[in-house]
Amino acid sequence: MVLRIEPAPNDSPTLLKLVGRIASPDVQELKALIAEMPNPVALDLREVELVDLDAVRYLAAAERGGLELRNLPPYVRAWVLLERERLGESE
């Protein structure tokens, strides 16, 4: 399964529902889509099944920059937190 991005109608902040797997090529698409949207933006990851390292690094950096992440699967949340710690060390 590939990543599917679904805008949630009438939601504020702007909410994008992500479904499937988030892999490296999807990160650029997500960045471009979010850049075009009015702020604030939130991502609902309830239906995400799998993420790769690039996706987790992006999510960690984006969350640190103010992007709201909702309904992360527990393993994704734990991995994002680890990557945020690593980001903090590199600054």
What length is written for the chain?
91
pTM here?
A: 0.89
Answer yes or no: are the C-beta atoms of 24 and 43 closer than 8 Å: no
Angle, alpha carbons 66-68-72 (nearest 5°):
135
Q: Residue 67: what pLDDT?
A: 93
Average pLDDT for 61-89 = 92
Structure tokens at 61: 């950096």
Tell which residue, 29, 59, 54, has the closest CA to residue 44.
59
Q: Residue 72: what pLDDT?
A: 95
Domains of the chain listed by start with CATH number: 4-90 (3.30.750.24)
The confidence band for 91, taking pLDDT boundaries of 50, 70 and 90, is: low
